[in-house]
């Protein structure tokens, strides 16, 4: 069940990150989901390092770290994807 939950959270975080980032992103949905999963993992690691890994009730701080990490990873990943896609088009 852990992997299914990670995919769902990654999908949601990736979509929110795409909505927050200005402009059009060119990465496909499956890649955005992977970026969202990576953001969730990075956000959890940052929260754990800062001592807010588990709190009573909803972990808003941890979720904020996850979202910020997902936004950064989606932004950088999309830039890399677009740069690679552009190079492929020029080669053909």
10 Å CB burial of residue 72 (0-12, 13-18, 19+) is middle
Query: In tens digits, what is the pLDDT along the chain, a chain of 92 residues?
Result: 577 887 888 899 999 999 999 888 888 999 999 999 999 999 888 988 998 866 777 788 888 999 999 999 999 999 999 888 766 665 55
Cα 23 to Cα 20, 50, 77: the distances in Å are 9, 32, 14
pTM of the model: 0.83
Q: What's the pLDDT at 79? A: 92
């Amino acid at each position: 069940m852990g992997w299914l939950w990670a995919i769902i959270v990654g999908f949601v975080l990736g979509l929110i990150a795409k909505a927050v980032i200005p402009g059009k992103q060119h990465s496909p949905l499956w890649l955005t989901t992977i970026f969202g999963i990576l953001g969730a993992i990075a956000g959890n690691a940052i929260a754990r390092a800062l001592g807010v890994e588990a709190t009573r009730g909803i972990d808003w701080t941890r979720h904020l770290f996850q979202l910020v990490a997902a936004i950064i990873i989606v932004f950088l990943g999309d830039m890399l994807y677009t740069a690679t896609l552009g190079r492929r088009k020029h080669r053909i």
